[in-house]
Structure 1
């Protein structure tokens, strides 16, 4: 999409002075390239898109149209998947908190449900005993060391014997089985080596727990780096692997262990990897001031729009200048782009080193992951999201601007 000051001015006239721009074509391209990187080595691979990373319905519908799973971690996300037409059998239900009702409904509907804790095991065993003629099938999330530097709180402790206990309990039930194993372990560097380790370990676990038949699936979760511009990439003190590097760390091990056509399905659950670079945020510059030695430019947005996790990384920024503004309405040199909230930490971009003025548009990139889902309606309602269609050369609304009524509708007044 080609942006210019004039194009952004026209979009402001239609949608307001701050908005997100969604690139669905880039998202589909990322998704297909990521999937093909794995399938070229291990053909029986499928992706489960992580709804929690960005649950804009248009993104989720794109995944559905491409044949992917919906990977959800709450009933809210499960309900969204159903609402956009995803079959329960194409939903993977993960996460540490599932109510008994939600857990039972998802299992009976045929979804892949990966249990996380003993309390969920108790719910499943109770369901199996209550419905002895019903075949109950689940997955189990495993917790083991991959060199992450911290002990994860999620899943069943392999070394401590918790996973053993679950298999023993299910073996005592004639109608309850384990379809496969799942792991999702976050590391600060998202390194290729950590994925080699987790793949090796989960294969060893499947060999041990499925001695007579192969599991239906092996689910290695997500946590991969996504694409990013060079200026953002340079701020990391670790290597940023490509899709192919991740695939080559994982898929050959599966191919070697399961070379025939009856191989288990490899499920990968990308979020950041496919969505990080498909969203931009546009914020108009509406004020400038100098306070002692500090220059600031006020934009119609906040740090919560672009960095709700409060990362110290500078996002890629492009300023589109209004060529008609006067010199008195500009700043140059070291300028902090600040937001509309009353919080001192609300600085979207520190030390901008070029000219910026009232009427310009600041466009932030590489913010497709977690921004929309994490942003609270703090001080102002959330801005709209628009999508660009290159075939029609048209921008369309995919989320309208929130109103005060939206924000306060759940309160009792």
Structure 2
């Protein structure tokens, strides 16, 4: 290694603690699900999204057991927006999940995977009328977000000559701020019961379900108890006042993963509720507030909690430099184009092996020609070689679906099965992928 001018950097935290020296500790991950990370990069390129089937199934069974051991009728709806890679969706469907979608695109994706309309929950604030009609004809569970959808569905009911079963989405105060009041009808103001009355007066729709989704990355399990209690109260009112039979309640998703929110300094192992915490709050509220002879079916739309820790992004050090302030900066081949959620989370960065030398404050930059392309502003790292493979996680939730083709092509994705076999589940983009739908007018074509 060539000579480098020495620098002096101030370390802004205690040099020693019960967790060891920040100058010597290193986080190491040489393999994922039994497969060497350097081998993965060699075979499939860098950067590379990697998903572990073993971790997916373990998390799924743990959460399902927490609910099914407490409640007799529980159905999971896989949240397509969380990760809509076909192989990932099919894995959750194989485990028993139906599909939960929030757009006509996701609806079409679920149908293309062979999911019947009756096994699709159709959410979202914007459902084009044409998409609603298809969903009605195919028997999907439609969750109404606003009054305009009531009007659209009534027109469809007249056109098809049918009475359409529907649910409404409800927003409410559960003590969590900011309150997700943008979606659905408000409980406290009476807007939700007014919407039910409006549906009843029209006579063309049949209310069969109630839905709420109170937030994301929820660290207070008791908020779900409050949510469920209010849904059960609304269920009672709908049945007593309007004669409806509410077949199900859908409490949405939002359960936290073991990711680390920026600005939260306690360990995820301390602050993230367990599956039993969530399940106890929800099921106890149903039993406590149920006033009918039967219990409603319980739907959950959990995404992040199930997939986040099963997803990794492998990236490779391409270069390094010394900034004017003395901090060392590493240039990686993955950046905010692939990890949009780096805005909110402090990911784990794990090295492919142990490196010699003391740690120093370092910055991890992505490959984009953008000053904001920073994955970590201040991380203690030893001197890394060009070609070092860094594993970033947890990134299974939202990062692939929100990744973008900006400056760089989107990379490949692989799934490692329980026998340690690696399956390519998404080829990397290339110029043909990007140019496929583009058209050049004749007068702009080069001769």
Is the shorter-chain TM-score for this pair beyond 0.5, marking a shared fold? yes
Match of 1:381 in 2: 409
1:346 aligns with 2:373: yes
How far did residue 236 of structure 1 move?
A: 6.8
Per the normalisation by structure 1, the TM-score is 0.90
Q: 1:312 to 1:94 in 2, by over 3 A?
A: closer
Structure 1 unaligned regions, length at least 5: none
How far did residue 383 of structure 1 move?
A: 0.7
1:281 aligns with 2:281: no
The 3-state SS of whatever aligns with 1:353 is strand
The 3-state SS of whatever aligns with 1:336 is strand
Match of 1:84 in 2: 113
Match of 1:410 in 2: 437
1:220 aligns with 2:220: no
Relative to structure 2, which stretch is displaced further, 42-51 or 181-190?
181-190
The 3-state SS of whatever aligns with 2:360 is coil
Match of 1:302 in 2: 335
Q: Deviations over 1:236-272 (max 9, x none)?
A: 7982111110001111222344599942101111011
Provide the rounded CA distance (Å) in 1 between the counterparts of 2:199 and 2:292: 28
Match of 1:44 in 2: 73
Q: Deviations over 1:257-313 (max 9, x none)?
A: 45999421011110111111111111111111112212111111112323x034253
The 3-state SS of whatever aligns with 2:381 is coil
Match of 1:103 in 2: 132
Provide the rounded CA distance (Å) in 2 between the counterparts of 1:233 and 1:273: 20
The 3-state SS of whatever aligns with 1:226 is coil
The RMSD of aligned alpha carbons is: 2.7
Is the 8 Å Cα contact of residues 30 and 353 (structure 2) preserved in structure 1? no
Is the 8 Å Cα contact of residues 320 and 361 (structure 1) preserved in structure 2? yes
1:135 aligns with 2:163: yes
Q: 1:166 to 1:128 in 2, by over 3 A?
A: farther
Relative to structure 2, which stretch is displaced further, 182-191 or 238-247?
182-191
How far did residue 228 of structure 1 move?
A: 4.3
Q: 1:196 to 1:342 in 2, by over 3 A?
A: same
Is the 8 Å Cα contact of residues 321 and 359 (structure 1) preserved in structure 2? no
How far did residue 50 of structure 1 move?
A: 0.9
Q: 1:80 to 1:187 in 2, by over 3 A?
A: closer
Provide the rounded CA distance (Å) in 1 between the counterparts of 2:253 and 2:45: 35
Summarize the alignment of residues 260-271 of structure 1 with structure 2, pairs less than 5 Å apart.
Answer: 262-271=294-303
Q: 1:237 to 1:178 in 2, by over 3 A?
A: same
Provide the rounded CA distance (Å) in 2 between the counterparts of 1:216 and 1:348: 46
Q: 1:37 to 1:233 in 2, by over 3 A?
A: farther
Per the normalisation by structure 2, the TM-score is 0.84
Provide the rounded CA distance (Å) in 2 between the counterparts of 1:2 and 1:398: 22
Is the 8 Å Cα contact of residues 322 and 360 (structure 1) preserved in structure 2? no
Match of 1:116 in 2: 145
Is the 8 Å Cα contact of residues 214 and 263 (structure 1) preserved in structure 2? no
Larger radius of gyration: 2
The 3-state SS of whatever aligns with 1:287 is strand
Q: 1:261 to 1:56 in 2, by over 3 A?
A: farther
Tell me which of 392, 397, 400 is aligned to 1:364. 392
Relative to structure 2, which stretch is displaced further, 237-246 or 337-346?
237-246
Match of 2:360 in 1: 333
Relative to structure 2, which stretch is displaced further, 149-158 or 134-143?
149-158
How far did residue 53 of structure 1 move?
A: 0.9
- The number of residue pairs the alignment matches comes to 405
Is the 8 Å Cα contact of residues 207 and 245 (structure 2) preserved in structure 1? no
